[in-house]
A and B are shown apart, each in its own frame.
Chain A
Amino acid sequence: MPVEWLNPYHLQVGSFLLINVLLGVSIYITLSTGQLSLGNAGFMCIGAYTAALLSTKCGLPIPAGIALGAVLAGSAGVLVGLPSLRLSGVYLAIATLGFGEVIRAVAVNWETLTGGAVGVAAVPQMGRVLLANLADAGFAPGDAGLRPNQFIALSVFLILLAVTALVIAFFLRLDRTRVGRAYAAIRLDEKAAEAMGIPVTYYKVLAFSQGAMVSGLAGALFAHSTSYISPEDFTYHRAVEILVYAVFGGSGHLLGSVFGAAALTLLPEALRFVSDYRHMLYGLLLVLMMIYRPQGVIDPPLLRRLHRARAEEAP
């Protein structure tokens, strides 16, 4: 008897939500050193294409492809980060936006490798591959009371959940280490941080490449959960969307971006019932947010208050 309440639709939305949360984390990291990067869609593109091509053309196992995708995106982050450090604020934003477009243009024009605008199809999907492997080992999803499509959606969701939880835990922890303190110092006042002996260049490049790496990871996971990618997936709309996650949720704390990504992924789905008007409502909500809570839904003072409230309730 299958477990009826386990709906692949909800798991699907959950999977995209988790990928977007990773993207939200990636923009938060660069923002946490006060750098505004719009290149995350480009890094995501690198990660996605690397993973997709390694598994379709070289037959590399999926986890290896995903790891390499993240590493390559991270290295690209170092390369872009170093020269971009001379820029700040809106100039950095424009430079990184340009970088993202260059990556997309490469994906469109390097046809022999990337397939051009047609993209890479038949990328092995994590859940389906896992199911096939388990079937070889004699496991049938029916044994666990699941229909095959439930099993596929559930396994993708759980893999993404594990990865996302690890990434969030890592960066929450990082906030309390020397590195996290250095990031905060640089964001508050770069000159003062430098005067205190913090190697600003090192930390800024580190943050930049960490952000790039997480974007690449998200891209690689994206490729293996949708099974098809094309340059259309990584346009500058995506970069702006990622930035909105942080701005909406609150860029002052990691959980702000996480919340922003989650809320803004669920919102269009939740608004499906108003079909024609859903993007209007979505836009309206963003405008209202910016008027009444410009720092984003979640900011450090709110978290502190929550924390204190909990401490008071406890005897």
Chain B
Amino acid sequence: MKRKHQAIAALTCALFALVFLGARKAGPASKPKGEPVRAKIGVISIITGAGAGYGEAITNGFRLARDEVNAKGEVLIDLKVEDSTGKAEQALSAAQKLINSERVAAILGPTLSTEMKVVGPEANASGVPIMGTSTTAKGITQIGKYVFRNSLPESLAIPASIGMAVKKYNLKKVALLYGNDDVFTKSGFDTMKEVSERLRLSILTVQEFQKGQSDYRAQLTRIASLSPDGVFCSALYEEGAVILSQARKMGITVPFVGGNGFNSPKVIEIARDASEGLIVATPWFAERDDPKVKSFVAKYEKAYGKKPDQFAAQAYDALHIMANALKAAGSADREKLRDALAATKNHMGVLGKFSFDADRDVVMDPNVLIIQGGRFRPFR
């Protein structure tokens, strides 16, 4: 009997010991002249859990870029990847670990805007530059002067796609449809509404749906009855593809404009013919005629056996931006790195020309694409 609780006590001790070990000491490296800049960069990503698909693409993008940068030899980057499981608390613990135990020079990630809103203030208070590569919601870089992002925010993507669609199809009356229980789709909708009001479009109806819903006929019937010129739909591709196919079946043939989350080759896979005519704005266009893009796609496919999506592309560019900043800073000092990052101008990456604005937010031209003949093509 006694042995049994001794065993339990031992188990508990072992647990605690496991947690408190693992803290390793390594100060930020400084470099003598001529030596490469060495830096430890932390990555917070979703490795396990529901969003692991995004996390995988993102970490793949980072790793591919790291290998390129390290092969060049001017900057040597050591990536420390931590899992957030998509939960804000886990992301915060991971960030604390990277900042205080691993002593990273900067952090890339986390994946979700909800995670960034928890992690950002902490990194900012600790003076660690942090760059989101997939956080598109409003108010991310406003957290503080150490918070950056290279992911195209909705506030840039949506005006571009809506603007072009309105011009081309002469839209006057529109219907809005969005998922109201997801930060991403909700904040996309807020931007759609704002842009529609600015362009003086008359909004006939606003319809909501929830994540994981499979029947949208109630909302679509209402939309069909008002016969709008176009539908603006803020959805992730899982829901979006189903909405499109149901809408087309119900005879809603007007143009659909989607948000950034709608932009996935999976839409074509799921909705097939019904996806024709969907217009999205995206930072990433895999078929752009640019040697950089082509070589990235080829390398990525070779290394991971699939085509890179926008998350992989954004991660890839982010790491290159980070490496350039490290080179410019000349050391892995967090303060110098922050200033060098903020000074990033006209970086030519696979997403095109990229700069940070005064708020450390994105300056770039989004690609507006339309699905035609079963693939994304530039929309003109």
Contacts and interface: CB of A to CB of B under 8 A. Distances in A.
Interface of A: 4, 7-13, 16, 108-109, 116-119, 121-122, 125, 128, 148-149, 152-153, 226-228, 230-233, 263, 266-270, 272-273, 275-276, 278-279, 297, 302, 305-306, 309
A13 B100 CA distance: 12
B19 A275 contact: no
Contact of B48 (A108, A233, A276): A276
B117 A16 contact: no
A297 B8 contact: yes
Given A125-B121, A263-B12, 19 more contacts: A8-B99, A8-B100, A9-B93, A108-B181, A116-B186, A117-B180, A117-B183, A117-B185, A117-B186, A118-B138, A118-B190, A226-B118, A230-B88, A232-B183, A270-B18, A270-B19, A272-B94, A273-B22, A302-B5
B6 to A, nearest CB: 10
Interface in B73-101: 81-83, 85, 88-90, 92-94, 96-97, 99-101
A202 B184 CA distance: 45
Contacts of A11: 96
B77 to A, nearest CB: 19
A149 B126 contact: yes
A128 B121 CA distance: 10
A152 B125 contact: yes
Interface of B: 1-2, 5, 8, 12, 15-16, 18-20, 22-23, 25, 47-49, 81-83, 85, 88-90, 92-94, 96-97, 99-101, 114, 117-118, 121-122, 125-126, 137-139, 180-183, 185-187, 190
Nearest to B128: A149
Contacts of B89: 16, 226
Interface-central residue, B1, B88, B90, B180, by most chain A CB under 10 Å: B88
B117 A9 contact: no
A275 B88 contact: no
A305 B48 contact: no
**SS class, residues of chain A in contact with chain B:** helix
21 contacts: A7-B96, A9-B93, A9-B96, A10-B23, A13-B19, A16-B93, A118-B186, A119-B117, A121-B139, A149-B100, A263-B12, A266-B19, A269-B93, A270-B15, A270-B19, A272-B22, A278-B83, A279-B49, A279-B85, A297-B8, A309-B5
A152 B100 CA distance: 13
B97 A9 contact: yes
B96 A8 contact: yes
Contacts of B8: 297
B303 to A, nearest CB: 18
Contacts of A117: 180-183, 185-186
A9 B99 contact: yes
Contacts of A275: 47-48, 81, 83
Contacts of B101: 7, 9
Interface-central residue, B5, B19, B23, B101, by most chain A CB under 10 Å: B19
B128 to A, nearest CB: 9
A34 to B, nearest CB: 26
A275 B85 CA distance: 10
A301 B85 CA distance: 37
Q: Which 8 A-B pairs have the closest CB atoms?
A: A9-B96, A270-B18, A228-B117, A12-B96, A117-B186, A9-B97, A149-B126, A9-B100
Contacts of A270: 15, 18-19
Nearest to B98: A9
A122 B144 CA distance: 11
